A and B are shown apart, each in its own frame.
Chain A
Amino acid sequence: MMSVEMEIRTRLDVIFSKYTPNAQLTEFKEELVADLLEAYQDFSKTDRSHNEALDDAFEQLGDIDSLLKDLSEPSTKEETDKESEPKRPYVDISNKGVHIGNLHINKKGVTLGDDIILDGKNNKVQFGDWLHVDRDGARVGDKYYKFEDNVDSDINDTFENKDFKEPNWAKSHHQLTVPTSTKDFVIDYSEASIHFYTNDKIDLITIDEYFSRDNRRYFATISENDDKIIVNQGEHPMLFHVRTAVNIGIPRSFTTGKIEVRNQAGSLYAQDLVTEKFNVQINAGSFKVKNMDTKTADWQLASGSIKATHIKAEQAKIHAQLGAVNISDATIDYAKVNADFGSVRIDNLVGGGEFTINSGSLRLRVDQLTNDLKLNSNSGTIRLTAPADQDFNFELATNSGAVHLDRNDIHYNKSFDGYKSGFVGANPEFTIDAQAAMGSIKIY
């Protein structure tokens, strides 16, 4: 007589036979064997026959076909691609892609034979069974490396759980110190998670590097010229992922510090810092900052978001090409904020300046104006909560859309649907100038 486990396996084999086998499906089948076996044992207590119990066990499983389809997806997709592609010459270059033998490069990604190497649609890299990379992590052979996923976590989580100790995944630690000076202090990394904090030193900047692999070649190097001290990331292999975290401690008394941070890919956190200059350049990644007092700030992000809270700056230039800018509780005498694709939201601002968005919405709540305010939007709405107890001049213009001014004591010079100018109150000092090409303007 066949054992129950074998019967379960045989039935599962029939269900699974429709799908091209892969590791995920095999693992799922094993998981189901144990679960079905136990379900069978439970049903046998009440059911009269062996088959009834077995059927009941399978019935309570429900319809697993769509899940099996999901799990088998990559391989079935390759097959349909193969069938639909007609015979082509060995080398074929057209506006549809590049094909050399069984290497195909097109908008779907890069494939070599049946292996998807770069899958543009699903954002992953896969090479046979040996290498698999997607946004969650990378598997090389039988080792799995999980990518950092703290980019999206809440700003408070990030800061309050941060103890600047060695991460649990670290395989090696490298410490550097740099004496404070009047020179620009430049941090230049290609891919790392970087944290700035205040250390307990008098005149030493501390740099603690942590790596998920132990190799001295990954360690950063320091170089110096007439006006800069530069910390450069060590070797960073492209073929496999070396997780890198850097904690940079700035002495509390180093308020004249001029700091520049470059990170090609990765996140940057800064908290409790008093500096003269804090410049940031990130290609892909996010920047979160809490409690910062600096004379000047210049933050440039190509793709990624900026989240800042409790910021004090005389001048701040903030530019996000692709991503949102989110600032709260800020005193910035003159801010120049720019977002190309993404929204800008600023709460409890004391200050003034220029705020420009190309596509996205602009939302500002100003507690106090200390400068003129110039708001610009190409496509998207502008909404501004002006200080309740401050009078102001205004000039509001939109090409398509409406202008709303939701205040008492308004004195209009001109008032049309898409254009309004004048002043609010009796003693206007600063001017609010808002222009929207497409979209409405609302001032509260």
Chain B
Amino acid sequence: MDISKDLIRGHTDTIILNILSQGDSYGYQVSKSIRQLSSKQYELNEATLYTAFRRLEKVGDIRSYWGDQTQGARRKYYTLTDQGQEHFKSAQQEWDFAKDIISHLISGRIKDYDER
């Protein structure tokens, strides 16, 4: 079973912020990290990833710079800004708060909660 795209879509930015919060990275490496973190259960195609990079850069959560590879093509690296760090922290808190409630809402049985 694949994870539903609709379920994960709203979290794309937070996923990227989480990866960049652990060190600067570039497109291909971020997509590899996503595969790794999801134990290969989720792949974010790079088109989506590059779109997200541009969106995050525009709002100021990340910045980019060119690497100084001496051979081959130069890589474009992305780094988290202070604002991105803040947004990442609050997104994580929002998720921690929401995940249990959503789980109860989706799997909970009403009679287990019907005390009164």
Q: Which residues of A contact B (CB under 8 A)?
A: 5, 27-28, 30-39, 60-64, 66-67, 70, 136, 146, 149, 157
Chain B residues near A (Cβ < 8 Å): 26-29, 31, 43, 45-48, 50-51, 54, 58, 60, 67, 69, 72-76, 86
**CB <8 Å contact, B58 and A34:** no
Known contacts A62-B48, A64-B50; is-contact A35 B72 (Cβ 8 Å) = no
Distance, CA A346 to CA B60, complexed state (A): 31
- For the A-B complex with A34-B72, A149-B60 known, give 10 more contacts whose Cβ atoms are closer than 8 Å: A30-B76, A31-B26, A31-B27, A34-B69, A34-B73, A60-B31, A62-B46, A63-B45, A66-B47, A136-B60
**A37 and B45 contacting across the interface, CB-CB below 8 Å:** no
Of all chain B residues, the one with the shortest Cβ separation from A39 is B28
Question: What's the Cα separation between A177 and B60 when bound, in Å?
Answer: 36
CB pairs A–B below 8 angstroms (16 shown):
A5-B73, A27-B76, A30-B73, A30-B76, A31-B26, A34-B69, A34-B76, A35-B26, A35-B46, A37-B72, A64-B47, A67-B47, A67-B51, A67-B54, A70-B51, A136-B58
Contact of B76 among A31, A63, A146, A149 (CB under 8 A): A31
- Pick from B26, B45, B54, B73: contact of A61, CB under 8 Å: B45
Nearest Cβ in chain B — how far from A12, in angstroms?
A: 11
Q: Which residue of the partner chain, among B50, B67, B74, contacts A28 with CB atoms under 8 Å?
A: B50
Q: Which residues of B contact A136 (CB under 8 A)?
A: 58, 60
Q: Name the contact of B50 in the complex, choosing from A30, A67, A149 (C-beta under 8 A).
A: A67
Residues on B with beta carbons closer than 8 Å to the beta carbon of A63? 45, 47
Which residues from chain A contact B29 at a C-beta distance below 8 Å?
A: 38
- A34-B47 in contact (CB<8A): no
Complex contact B50–A34 (CB within 8 A): no
A50 to B63, CA, bound (A): 34
Cβ-defined contact, A35 with B27, below 8 A: yes
Complex CA gap A70/B47 in Å reads 12
Q: Give the complex CA separation of A63 and B76 in angstroms.
A: 20
Among B26, B60, B69, B76, chain A packs the most CB atoms within 10 A around the CB of B76
